[in-house]
Amino acid sequence: MAWIVLIFAGLLEIVWAIGLKYTHGFTRLTPSLITIAAMVVSMVLLAHAMKTLPAGTAYAVWTGIGAVGAAVMGMVLLGESTNIMRILSLCLIVAGILGLKFSSH
């Protein structure tokens, strides 16, 4: 169950990371409220997952999901670069996340 909670925490990290772009420095109310809510809930879920998962593993997986998700969403929503080196680098992060998941007790 902790892994499912951690995945949701990571997905919310993507929401707030991309949401930051839409807040325009927290000058737009609705995107700012959504971003702040996603930050808070993401942190609460991460803390809950860390009750049973190793802290280093949980944090690395959480940030990995957020980093890969934010980069992919940046490509899809914001027109960021999709060159092969960037995509291969994201694949390496995913491999690291999977390695941490399958090597934790």
Residue 19, Cβ density class (10 Å: 0-12 exposed, 13-18 middle, ≥19 buried):
buried
Kindly give the residue spans of alpha helices, DSSP state H, lying in 50-83. Answer: 55-78
Q: Give 4's pLDDT tier (boundaries 50, 70, 90).
A: very high
Backbone phi, then psi, for 27, in 5-degree steps?
-100, -5
Question: Which residues, 6+ apart, have CB-to-CB distance to 93 below 8 Å?
Answer: 64, 67, 68
CA angle 35, 99, 6 (to 5 degrees): 30
Residue 29 has pLDDT above 90, yes or no: yes
Q: Say if residues 46 and 60 touch (Cβ distance below 8 Å).
A: no
Share of the chain above pLDDT 70, in %: 99
Number of H helices, E strands in the chain: 4, 0
pLDDT-based confidence at 103, cuts 50/70/90? confident
- 10-37 average pLDDT score: 97
Whether residue 105 has pLDDT greater than 70: no
Question: What's the pLDDT score for residue 102?
Answer: 86
Mean pLDDT value across residues 22-27: 96
Q: What is the pLDDT of residues 30-60, one digit of tens each?
A: 999 999 999 999 999 999 999 999 999 999 9
Mean pLDDT of 87-92: 96
Question: CB 3: neighbour CB atoms within 10 A?
Answer: 14
3-state secondary structure at position 80: coil
Average pLDDT, the chain: 95
